[in-house]
Amino acid sequence: MVRRHRIKLLRFLTAYLGNGTDAEDLVQETFTRAYRSLDRYDPNQSFSTWLFTIGRRLSANEKRRQARLRKRETEWFAETEQSEQSLGFEEGSIWAAAKDILSEGAYVSVWLHYGEGKAVKEIARIMGKTVTGVKVTLFRARRALAAGLDPKLVSESLDR
């Protein structure tokens, strides 16, 4: 079954999705679903048509999932940009410098704690860390910022 239909199904799904990597994954998922649903296959119909229908439906679901994900990411970036601007995240600000100086995890911890006002316990839950791990991350982030920031920038930001 796989040897006979794999290449044709892969070409079809690649054309449908426009992405060979996603198509490879869906080919495998298509065969898995077909195998699990063999009891529902009608032998009076073409097997390849049934198989391609499963693949097309999985691909359509994948396209919708990716569209939702892109929409959520766009909304999140817009919200983050607004939040960053309201906190003075423009060129030369402490937030801009923090983004350049800190690792992504440290920046997110600092942002959640100081930017969003979240408690350490809550940050630990969000990031999947221990409370002690978040405390250590925040401590190290503050030290890295103190070492990496221009003292003039720090005093200007504190004057706001």
State the SS3 of 57-82. HHHHHHHHHHHHHHHHHHHHHHHHHH
Stretches where the chain sits below pLDDT 70 are 77, 80-92, 150-160
Fold of 88-159: Arc Repressor Mutant, subunit A (1.10.10)
Q: Which pLDDT belongs to residue 75?
A: 76
Supply the pTM of this predicted model: 0.48
Listed residue (64, 44, 45) closest to 56, CA to CA: 64
| Fold matches, 2-79 and 88-159 | no
Residue ranges per structural domain of the chain: 2-79, 88-159
Q: What gap in Å lies between CA 52 and CA 33, rounded to an integer?
A: 12
- CATH code of 2-79, in short, is 1.10.1740.10
Q: Which pLDDT belongs to residue 115?
A: 82
- Tokens representing residue 120 in the block: 């350490």
Q: Which pLDDT belongs to residue 156?
A: 52
Q: Which pLDDT belongs to residue 18?
A: 82
Q: Which pLDDT belongs to residue 26?
A: 94
Q: Which pLDDT belongs to residue 68?
A: 84
